[in-house]
Structure formats: structure tokens, C-alpha cells
Amino acid sequence: MRAAIIGGTGYGAIELIRLMNNHPYLEIGSVVSNSQAGNGFSESYPHLTEIINQPLESFNADRLAKENDIVFLATPSGVSSKLAPVLVDNGIKVIDLSGDFRLRSQTEYETWYKHSAPEEKYLSQAVYGLSEIYAEEIKGAALIANPGCYPTATSLGLLPILKANLADSQSIIIDAKSGVSGAGRGLSLTSHYAEINENLKAYKLGAHQHIPEIEQVLTDETGNPITVTFTTHLVPMSRGIMITAYVNVTEKISTNTIHDLYKKFYENHPFVRVRPTGTYPSTKEVSGSNYCDIGLHVDPRTNRLTIISVIDNLVKGAAGQAIQNANIMNDWDVRTGLNSIPMYP
Amino acid sequence: MRAAIIGGTGYGAIELIRLMNNHPYLEIGSVVSNSQAGNGFSESYPHLTEIINQPLESFNADRLAKENDIVFLATPSGVSSKLAPVLVDNGIKVIDLSGDFRLRSQTEYETWYKHSAPEEKYLSQAVYGLSEIYAEEIKGAALIANPGCYPTATSLGLLPILKANLADSQSIIIDAKSGVSGAGRGLSLTSHYAEINENLKAYKLGAHQHIPEIEQVLTDETGNPITVTFTTHLVPMSRGIMITAYVNVTEKISTNTIHDLYKKFYENHPFVRVRPTGTYPSTKEVSGSNYCDIGLHVDPRTNRLTIISVIDNLVKGAAGQAIQNANIMNDWDVRTGLNSIPMYP
Amino acid sequence: MRAAIIGGTGYGAIELIRLMNNHPYLEIGSVVSNSQAGNGFSESYPHLTEIINQPLESFNADRLAKENDIVFLATPSGVSSKLAPVLVDNGIKVIDLSGDFRLRSQTEYETWYKHSAPEEKYLSQAVYGLSEIYAEEIKGAALIANPGCYPTATSLGLLPILKANLADSQSIIIDAKSGVSGAGRGLSLTSHYAEINENLKAYKLGAHQHIPEIEQVLTDETGNPITVTFTTHLVPMSRGIMITAYVNVTEKISTNTIHDLYKKFYENHPFVRVRPTGTYPSTKEVSGSNYCDIGLHVDPRTNRLTIISVIDNLVKGAAGQAIQNANIMNDWDVRTGLNSIPMYP
Amino acid sequence: MRAAIIGGTGYGAIELIRLMNNHPYLEIGSVVSNSQAGNGFSESYPHLTEIINQPLESFNADRLAKENDIVFLATPSGVSSKLAPVLVDNGIKVIDLSGDFRLRSQTEYETWYKHSAPEEKYLSQAVYGLSEIYAEEIKGAALIANPGCYPTATSLGLLPILKANLADSQSIIIDAKSGVSGAGRGLSLTSHYAEINENLKAYKLGAHQHIPEIEQVLTDETGNPITVTFTTHLVPMSRGIMITAYVNVTEKISTNTIHDLYKKFYENHPFVRVRPTGTYPSTKEVSGSNYCDIGLHVDPRTNRLTIISVIDNLVKGAAGQAIQNANIMNDWDVRTGLNSIPMYP
């Protein structure tokens, strides 16, 4: 099955290429980058020298539809909203890694993203691709809105306790930390090495566009309207996201009980590893892999649950989950092409 | 005035030396390291080559008291509790950078530190050296318990809102992040470069010995028994602490109003810089300096205040605050020897 | 084919496990760690949670030989010299990742390694496993001395020009730089995060045990006794080695000509990528992969060739080359299990 | 004495401000940044909040000359060449941190810098400000060309052996490594965090504009026309330069003898610390300070001397040496304002 990649010179596309290279059924098809069309890959990414030899192409919906079986959009928000409809109308399945089709409400989208929302018609057919939760819907979808990196780690961390109705849904605080690659390869002072190295920075307090996405999933899954406090920090590392989530539990309950609840919740989901009580995952322990690792601790003094949830932002938080969704859509084992061991150290 | 340093080969001692070197009234007196006695400084710390030429000494209370006017204990917890009494009994003023004299309750100490508490007699005369809050008590003290790095950033961040009675004192959550130097120069897998670099790690959930210290200060200053949720994370950087604290405010109140409250609270305290609303401090912006920088944000959707408070853990979190306390004890301008600009980048 | 790993809790072993997991014909057999025997893997390496579930075993030559087809020794120098003979005598093929069997001369070994050399009998049957150069010998070998990380990058960088007789073999200077994982997981001040981060350090000038190994290969392959100047530096990164080698060329010759020579030399060796002239490889561009990437520049003003050669020290510099050698020994395609794309960024 | 700074929002200017803040005789005068004129400092550099409150000004030669006693140009190459003449003609002393006035030959300048050279008239009056070597000339100068970071570390490392006529002046190879701040605060893929972190990169082989500067100093001081091989590498750290220089010694000579020669050469120069034999400086050991630390090793097998020379590129490699030169020009102790201890760790 040939898979095209649009937005071919961003980190998301590059990670798709790395992962597809290990995938037995997905073959790298067209790779599109309007800005670099005609150039070789290794000019932008010398690590692909002698590995990916095809040139970058410009966008052509007809040709894309003809020559490929599925398209991954690794384009920025605002671009996907324009390209996805063309492709869907051409009858090709689309997995969009941007935020454009994640929010069902156009108003919410425009409030947080500050530009025009996609058409209602496409929004309504998009399926939110949180693989562990929405596998059924993903199976038949024509357009997948691949979840954001923060929402993936957050939702997987919070859903078991919330769906068990054991937590105060208005008490949720999410302290999020990310490596720098999450902001992409674009140039800005906040990705300048000398500004970020040996530094820790909080940013976008109360204004991050992943807030409504998180609230939408948690609200959908619990049936209660949920509002969260969500703070993002930039950590001096290239890859990795950690979510430290806090929630008040509604009855006296031990860490062990909650641990068992999580183990059961994820027993058929190989990419979520609930860690033994008393231990907590670190980001490097999932680096390069599609795992989401979760640690749990209830403080009996405050009756508050602390959840540590880590992912590699470029894998489970982007390209890996996109391929996981492609596996689900095609009824392949969900692990197909994604069973590499994290790179440690 | 001659100042002795005990525990001469740890990072705390080395930072005291760096700072004293710029201090017009404090002169480096005896430097004691039992393990390295007789050796030169630059064997352990080549950056001091041709700067500090005196040899390291072994501990001798009489000689210390005779040749020095003040002693800084940069010794580990469990060691200070033994040395401080001897020195205090010898009539010499002591500033202890360890945790030994910070908790008033022996029981609490033994619960969290897992070894024997100092004698009641010395505990009761120790003054908690949070300079901005306890200057009056510090002035006349014979024994200063210099605050921990996390409690310094936390208390300075939380006290203005708590003392103004504008927050729910049972809602406090502190998400703390530290660089690696906070754990000292000792060898362990959690300070091994290849394990920490490109990694982010949560540790000691619900078990960190700074929890009772924070609760003691907040309780003392508000009159309410306060219990906090406190989570610590290890960040891949050498220096710097950031506290992200969350607290529910008890009435509708804007970020601006809280900002004004903080500005007023710290108007006579040059080392606390309350940042303009909409901006948040990063750890590098205080690196090498005694500043504690604070950023504030109220989310009107959740009525929750987020406080970002950063310090250099080795300066305001240890050696810098110790010298600030020495300045207060001697009625010198509090900035004496501490007015260097942060090193950026 | 079952492959045992001895020295199971070092970085070399962990990397062998990561790579074998992708190998279609090699199955992880016994994993031996005397210090951790009986424990699970994920206690030492939580990133292997739910991936490698077998317990660590203690060393038992009989059982090893019975249950496995090949043994990888990821043990320290001085340990391999004792274990390899027992295994070889038991008729099992051994690939040793330590330095114990690399030097043919016992005297040289003892001069540089400062402990007793292995027995002559085993030294003489060991084959130096520089895969691109000694494939023929490797094929039939019972005991492979897998090359050191520095010697691999150095030899692959220097051999084409030296074997073409175009350089002054007495003018070789090798300025080598390595990440910290090369020193293993053991604890020492030179792997302490706060000492290494934001630091660059030269070490072991004129005393590194890889010097005689490099000289032996270059001498063997050119027929001239070669002495090199070799300086090692510790770079604040976890993985990666770069060799910057300098050599005087003996006639006026352009970068292009030398580039063509290198391309030809490595045309049948997929893991050596000679980069286009005017570009130079960086270590991240081979990270996690078995590639050795080479850049070349002749300065016409000095008639000196500068060679940049990079590898991932844990892959081509250790575990990857070991598996490459296993592929050669078994007549599998040399790329089997090793065709992952470097992880970038 | 009031000192103006032009180019006020680059790292060079920021470091001048940090250092001048500790200087008893130099007061920060006008700070000029055309792009940020009218803005406060702390908008670009929040670490200066409440420290530097004056606004940034636009360039006005008259006003600058009237209100200041000396001007530091921290402007890019190509800009200084235009501003310095105006200021010099206005009778104000100028210390230029760019490369514009370092090369005496206009042709050489234009070959390496690829834009027009300054006028001969100004070039000929500029004094090369390598403080330890040209103090006499610096004293009376109206225009100082402050040396480049690489040439400073290189010249101080090589001059003692070359001037003693103990080395083959045609055998010099300089393997140079720098942190990222050397490239300034401008945005480029080569300062993007995710591209540089956990990476080591060689760049500008045979094309770095510091090559003719190094050759000019070495040629001037030895009387022999010297051509060097010079390779630069980008190291994942913010600050610090290390030069590893190689040179053939012309007679059998021990490390000790060379060590004594260097100690003698620098005995009256407090900022050059020649390290004991067998030890080598690391970049962190001079971080934030004006030291240049040197380590030496002769390999008796090859009769080659290896010199390790480290500086902080922003201090001794830029702002610190500029202030050292101001001290010399004013007949102040050379250490004035520069005696801070390196920040370690």
C-alpha cells in the first residue's frame, strides 16, 4: 500500500518516513513539499543520504490520488484545512497530523487557532484518532484528525480514572512539559540553542490551542462538561513530553487500587504501559517508540492523584499514532511497523 | 570579617567561595573538608587554579572559632546536626545550608529525613533564614537554618496570595522542576550524564523531605494548617529551579490585581522581581544570581492562579541566600556582594 | 538462531537487545549478568518493560553452549579474556565487544591495558572484526574481536587514502570526540551530569588504549609501521563519535579526486556513506544506525587532507558492528536487522 | 568613565553589560540598537529586568561622542567598518569587537569576508587587541580591533612555543571546537535547538574567516610566513571554545620543559593559567571568566606537541578582552572588573 506524505520537510514527515521504512505493508509513495519541490531529500536531511532517493514533489491532488492509497498530511494548521477536502473529495483516505480537524466546533477552533475553521461538512466526517479510545470509529473513517501530542499523553493519563467516576472532574490540573522538536523546524528565538539550553521556560499560559482539544475528549468520554487548567513548559531536550496531571479522588482509594484499574483499562492496548506502583516513567524510556507510559501516585494526606504520562512527541504524539491509525483502518495488527524498542540511552 | 566554610568540596561550598570572592566585607577563612584535608582546592576544582591557594583543613572547632567570625555549614543533613552545636557552643555564628535545623518538630524531621533529629535545645534557637520574610529574626540569630531550594522558590511564590487571604489554602499543588546540581556532586545513576541528558524524570512523589518544610512555613505565615501536593522533576540542566504552583482563588480576581498585590508585597525586596503580566520568567534569566523571579496568571475559566517562580538553586536556593542572611545579620545592605547580573546566555 | 549476551546490564548489551529485536534470524537467548542474576531486565532498564520479560541469568558455560548458537560478550576488558576461552573451548562462536582480543601482541596489550593479556592461543585465533575490511576472515572465525569505537571511525576514515599510497603515513593526527555513553554506565565524576553538561574536556592524551589498536590496523593494511597522534575529547552528548583526521597528501590532489577514490573504495559497503564534497556529516545524522559517514576536504594551501568520520559509538562502534559480523559469519545480507533510518532529530 | 555600547541586543553587548556592571571605573553609557531604539532592554533580555532601565537609543555620532568617553562596537562585520571611522573622526576611542579592522590587508579581508574592506586610513591605525601580546600598542590606540574568539585561544596557545623557535612552523594544525553562542543570536538552522542538541558538527572547512587572522598574528610574531590547517566544530553547549593545536617540535623535548617555558612566558599575565602537566583544562572551568587556560602534552613517540587552550568565547573571546583592553588603555590594573571566579558547575 502506497502512502503519500505532504509537508515533506518538517519533523513530522521525517518521522513518518523513519517509521514507514520499518513497516511491512506501507510503502513510501509521493512525498510533497511545495517549497522544496524538485530537490532531493538529503539536501534538507542528510541523514537520509542513500536511503530515500526520490525527489520531493509539488502538490497535485489528481496525481496523488492516482498513485497513492492513503495520504498523511504533515502540514501546518491552516494548510491541512485546505488540502484535506480536495483529497477526500478525490476519494483518498487522509490522516491529518495538524490540529485542523480535531475540534468539532468551528467557533472553538477560531477562538483558539485565530484563523478560519475548515468547512462544517469535513469537520463532521473527521474522526478523532486517539487510537486506544476510538478504534471502532477509526476503522471506517475517510478523514482522521490525528490527536495533538499534549492531548494524547493527557487523555491516556486521565481517562481511566475519569471514566471510573472516581475523580472530581472540575479539579483537573495538567502540568505539561515538552522537548523542543514539538515546535517544529521553523526558526524562532524559542528554538535558538543558546536560549533553550540550560533553561526551563513556561509558555502560553491559559492560551494553548490544545486546551479545547483536551476538554472536548474528556467531556465526550465522561459526559460532564470539563474545564482544565493546563500549563506548558519548554524543556531543554529534543524529544519527549511528560504530563503531570493532578486530580482529586472522590473517595479514599489506594495507589494500588488505581493501578489495577489502569492495568485493566489498558490490558488490550500494547502501547500503553502502566508502570508498577512506586515507579514513574521518564521520557527517555519511550524515546523513538510509540509507547505511552503511565505512573500513578495517590497522596493519602491530600486525597489527590498524581498521574505521570510520557510519550515521544514525534511518535505516539504524531507520526507513530498516525501509523497506528493506518494499521487500524486496514485491520492490521496495531503494532505493525511500530514494535521498535525505545532508544536508550 | 572572616567566614569559614565546612564541607568544602561540595557544590554549595564552591558557590559560597564564588560569591564571597565578590563580597567586600566577607573574606574566605578556613575551608574544611575532612575527606580532602591537606589537599589544594584546585585538585578537586581546577577552575579555582591560582585563585584559591589555601589548602583544605580538617575540622577543629576551637581553631575555627578562633580564626573565623562566622561559619557556613555546607555539610550534608545528619552532619550539620552534629557540627552546629559544637560551633554554637563555641560562640560562633553559624549558617547551616543543610536541612537539619529547618523543621521545628523532631518527629517530623525523623519521619521525613529517616535519621535522628538534632537536639531540641538547638532546634529551638535556630531561625529559619527565608531572608525576605524573617529578616527581623535573622538579625539577632546565632544559628540560621538556611532554607531548602524548593521551599525558597515555593514560599516566595505563594506567600503573597496566601497572606492576603485570597486563596483556598487546601488547594495548593506545587509542580517543581530542578536541574541536576541540586543533588550535589555525589555519584548516582540519577546524575549519570547519559541517563539524564535528553530525559525528564519525576521522582520522590509524596516523599520529598522539602514537603514538611514548605508546609511549616505556609502554616506559620497563614495561621492555617496547610497540606500541599508537591511533585519534583529532574530536568536536563545543571542549575535552576522552577516552581509551577496552582491555587484556587476565592473570589473573581484578575491577573492584574494579583500582580499589583505581589509588586507591593516585594517592593522593598530587591531580589524578588515580579514580572509584568503576560510574561513568565525562565530559569536561565536568574542563572548565577540571587534573584527569585515570579510570573502570575489567573485563568478566569477555572478561577485558578498559576504562579511561576524561578531561582538558581545554588544561589538563592543555597549559597546566595546564606550570604544574604549574613548581610542581614551584620546590618549590611542586603545586596552586598550579590549584585551580579545573571549570566545569559 | 539463538544469541546469548553476557554482561547484560551495560549499554553495549542493551543496544544488542535493541538491534536484535529487529533482526529476523537472531533471537535473544540467554542474557547473563552475574551482578543482577535472577532480577528482571526492566528493574535496571524500565524502557524494556513488557518487552523483555526473561530474567537475567548467572554465567554457566555449559548451559550457554547448549542453549545458544552464538555468544556476544559485552563484558569489560579483563573479563572477556577469561570468559571467551571457556566458551570457545565449548565450541560456541564468540563475538567479543571488549578490547581483550584486539591486539595481537601480549606486550602491547599489557602496556596499554595495565593488566594481563589473554593467552596467546586465543589471541592468535581471534579475528579483528572491522567488517568492511576483514569480511573474508570474519566468515570462518570462531572468535571475533569486535573493534573499538574510535578505531572503527578512524580506520574507515583513513584506510582509503593510506592504501592508495597518497599520504605521508607519518603525518597522521586524529582529533577524536565522543559522547558520554562510550564510557559506559559506571559511575564516575567524568560522567556526572553537572560536570559534563555545558562542558568540553580533553582526556587521556597519549595514553588511550585505542592508540595501539589503530596503529595495528593501519600498519597491517599499509605494510608501513605507523605511529599516530591521537587525542580524545568528551563532548556533552550521550551518543556519537566524530573523528577529525589530518594527513599530508603526497602530491597535489583535489578534494574531488579523493572523494572519487573513497566512493569507489566503499561502493559495495552500504554502511559507509561518503558525503558529497563541500558537505560534512554530523553525529546526529547517524544516530541509532550502523552508518559510518565520511566527509573530505583538501586544503590546497597546506596540501593537507582533513577527514571527518562519524559513527554512533553504540552501534557501528559496538553492538551494530557485532551484529554486522554475525551477519557475515552466517552469510546473511550484511544489512540484515540493521537497516533502520537514523533517528533525527 | 562612560562607555557606550553599539549593537545593544547581541550577545556581545549583553556580556559587556554584565561585565561592566562589576567594573568600578566603567559606567554603562549610551546603549544603541537601531532595530530596537526606544524599547527597554528587558523586553529583549528579561534577565535585565530592574537592572538596566535605560531605553535603547538610535545611533547618533555627535551625541555618542559628547556623552561617552569610549565606545564598544558590538556590531556585525560590515557595520563596524562604517561606524568606527565616524566615531574615530569625532575623537572618541573605539574598541571594535567585529572582524572589520583585524586584517591589515584589504585584499585578504575581501577574500575571506566577501564584502568591502574598511578604508586603508583606518585599517592602518587600528591596533590588534590581543591583550597579553600587544599591551604597549594598545595603550595609545584610538581604535582597537578586538581579536576573534578562535584566534585568541589559538594565538595564546601557540605563541610561546613558536616564539621560542622550538616548533616546525609549517606543521600547525588547529582543531577548534565552539559552543553555539559564538554564532550570535541570529536565527538559522545551525542554531536550532533540535538540530544542535545531541549533535556534533564540523563546518566551514578551510573557509573560516579567522584563518587569515590567526596566520597574520603568528606570522607577525615569528617573522616566518605561517599557513595553518584550521577546522571548526560546533559543540552542543552555549559557551566555550577549545582549541586542540598540534605542532611538531624540532628537537627532543619533554612536556615539563615546555610547561616551564609557558609558565615563564605568562608569568606576568594573570588571565593565562598554564595547567600542571598531566592535566588539561575543560571549557566549563573558565566559564563566565576572562581566563585562558592551557594544557600541554608532548608525545615522545611522534615528537608532536598537543596544546589544549580554552576560553569563554563571550568573555576572553569577546567582551572580557575588550574590557581588558579598556583597562590597558586607561592604565588600570588589567584585572579591574574582571576578577570573577568562573561559574562552576
DSSP string, D232-244: EEE-SSSS-EEEE
| D89 and D174 inside one domain | no
Quickly tell me which residue has 546564606 as its cell: B322
| A256 and A116 inside one domain | no
Q: What are the b/e assignments for B222-237, b being 16+ CB within 10 Å?
A: beeebbbbbbbbbbbb
- What confidence tens digit (pLDDT) does each residue in C279-296 have? 999 999 999 999 999 999
Cα separation values, D234 from C194, D176, D186, D191, D196, Å: 20, 9, 16, 10, 8
pLDDT for the residue D343: 98
Q: Please provide the average confidence, as pLDDT, over all residues in chain A.
A: 97
Residue A163 in any domain: the answer is yes
pLDDT for the residue C88: 96
What residues of chain A lie within 8 A of the CB of B238, using their CB?
A: 198
Q: Please provide the average confidence, as pLDDT, over all residues in chain C.
A: 97
What residues of chain A lie within 8 A of the CB of D198, using their CB?
A: 238
| B156 and B81 inside one domain | no
- What confidence tens digit (pLDDT) does each residue in A61-114 have? 999 999 999 999 999 999 999 999 999 999 999 999 999 999 999 999 999 999
- What confidence tens digit (pLDDT) does each residue in A121-154 have? 999 999 999 999 999 999 999 999 999 999 999 9
In this complex, which of B49, B284, B340 lies closest to D22 when CB atoms are compared?
B340
Alpha-carbon gap, residue B292 to B149, rounded angstroms: 11
In this complex, which of D51, D284, D343 lies closest to B343 when CB atoms are compared?
D343
Q: C8 pLDDT exceeds 90?
A: no
Alpha-carbon gap, residue D338 to D331, rounded angstroms: 15
Would the CB atoms of A280 and B205 count as touching at under 8 Å?
Answer: yes
Q: Which residues of A touch B (CB under 8 A)?
A: 173, 175, 177, 179, 194-195, 197-203, 205-206, 227-229, 231, 233, 235-240, 242, 244, 246, 280, 282-284, 287, 295, 297, 299, 301-302, 304, 306, 308, 310, 345
Other beta carbons within 10 angstroms of residue D102's beta carbon come to 27
**Structure confidence at residue A51 as a pLDDT band (50, 70, 90):** very high
Q: Which residues contact C225 (CB under 8 A, 6 or more apart)?
A: C219
Would the CB atoms of C238 and A286 count as touching at under 8 Å?
Answer: no
| B171 and B308 inside one domain | yes
Residue B343 in any domain: the answer is no
| A303 and A213 inside one domain | yes
Alpha-carbon gap, residue A128 to B304, rounded angstroms: 29
pLDDT for the residue D227: 98
Other beta carbons within 10 angstroms of residue B53's beta carbon come to 10
Q: What angle do CA B57, B59, B60 make, to 5 degrees?
A: 110
| B217 and B294 inside one domain | yes
Would the CB atoms of D238 and A193 count as touching at under 8 Å?
Answer: yes
| B135 and B63 inside one domain | yes
Alpha-carbon gap, residue B211 to A86, rounded angstroms: 56
| C161 and C304 inside one domain | yes
| A115 and A211 inside one domain | no
Q: Please provide the average confidence, as pLDDT, over all residues in chain B.
A: 97
| C46 and C139 inside one domain | yes
Residue B38 in any domain: the answer is yes
Residue D342 in any domain: the answer is no
| B82 and B54 inside one domain | yes
- What confidence tens digit (pLDDT) does each residue in D295-322 have? 999 999 999 999 999 999 999 999 999 9
Alpha-carbon gap, residue B28 to B39, rounded angstroms: 17
What residues of chain C lie within 8 A of the CB of B312, using their CB?
A: none
Would the CB atoms of B295 and A202 count as touching at under 8 Å?
Answer: yes
**Averaged pLDDT for residues C304-314:** 98
How many domains, in total, are found in chain D? 2
> C299 pairs with which residues across the strands?
C304
Report the sign of the C-alpha dihedral through residues C138, C140, C145, C146, in that order.
positive
Residue A341 in any domain: the answer is no
Q: What distance in Å separates residue D284's CA from the closest CA in chain C?
A: 5
**Averaged pLDDT for residues D14-30:** 97
Report the sign of the C-alpha dihedral through residues A167, A169, A171, A175, in that order.
positive
Q: B26 pLDDT exceeds 90?
A: yes
Closest CA to B318 of B46, B3, B1, B10: B10
In this complex, which of C194, C195, C238 lies closest to B194 when CB atoms are compared?
C238
**Averaged pLDDT for residues C112-126:** 97
Asked if D280 and D305 touch (Cβ cutoff 8 Å), the reply is no
pLDDT for the residue A151: 98
**Averaged pLDDT for residues C176-198:** 97
Per the structure block, which three cell numbers stand in for B299?
Answer: 485563568
Q: B8 pLDDT exceeds 90?
A: no
pLDDT for the residue A216: 98
**Averaged pLDDT for residues A218-236:** 98
DSSP designation for B75: P
Residue A225 in any domain: the answer is yes
* Closest Cα in chain B to A237: B198
pLDDT for the residue C290: 98
- What confidence tens digit (pLDDT) does each residue in A272-292 have? 999 999 999 999 999 999 999
| C185 and C196 inside one domain | yes
Residue A207 in any domain: the answer is yes
Task: Write down which chains contact chain C via at least 3 CB pairs under 8 A.
Answer: A, B, D
**Averaged pLDDT for residues B196-222:** 97
Would the CB atoms of A197 and D197 count as touching at under 8 Å?
Answer: yes
Which CATH number is D160's domain given?
A: 3.30.360.10
CB contacts < 8 A (B, D): 79
Q: Which of D65, D79, D88, D149 is catalytic?
A: D149
In this complex, which of A185, A194, A236 lies closest to D191 when CB atoms are compared?
A194
Which CATH number is D115's domain given?
A: 3.40.50.720
pLDDT for the residue B6: 97
- End residue of a domain, out of D89, D109, D124: D124
pLDDT for the residue A8: 82
Per the structure block, which three cell numbers stand in for A179?
Answer: 522537548
In this complex, which of D193, D198, D237 lies closest to A191 when CB atoms are compared?
D193
**Structure confidence at residue D1 as a pLDDT band (50, 70, 90):** very high
Would the CB atoms of B194 and C236 count as touching at under 8 Å?
Answer: no
Asked if B227 and B265 touch (Cβ cutoff 8 Å), the reply is no
Residue C334 in any domain: the answer is no
Alpha-carbon gap, residue B25 to B4, rounded angstroms: 13
C203 phi and psi angles, rounded to 5 deg: -150, 160
pLDDT for the residue D8: 82
Asked if C237 and C175 touch (Cβ cutoff 8 Å), the reply is no
Per the structure block, which three cell numbers stand in for A80?
Answer: 491541512
Asked if D296 and D278 touch (Cβ cutoff 8 Å), the reply is no
| Count of H-run helices and E-run strands, chain B | 12, 13
State percent of chain D over pLDDT 70.
Answer: 100
Q: Residue C40: which region, alpha, beta or left (left: phi > 0; alpha: psi -120 to 50)?
A: beta
Which parts of chain B fold into alpha helices (H)?
11-20, 41-44, 61-67, 80-89, 106-113, 120-125, 131-139, 149-163, 193-196, 210-222, 255-265, 320-329
Which residue numbers of B are catalytic?
A: 149
> What domain range is D274 assigned to?
150-313
Alpha-carbon gap, residue A289 to A271, rounded angstroms: 9
> B96 pairs with which residues across the strands?
B73, B145
**Averaged pLDDT for residues C15-23:** 97
Omega before B85 cis (within 30°)?
A: no
**Averaged pLDDT for residues D73-95:** 96
**Structure confidence at residue C16 as a pLDDT band (50, 70, 90):** very high
pLDDT for the residue A274: 98
- What confidence tens digit (pLDDT) does each residue in A164-196 have? 999 999 999 999 999 999 999 999 999 999 999
Radius of gyration of chain B (CA): 20
Q: What distance in Å separates residue A251's CA from the closest CA in chain B?
A: 17
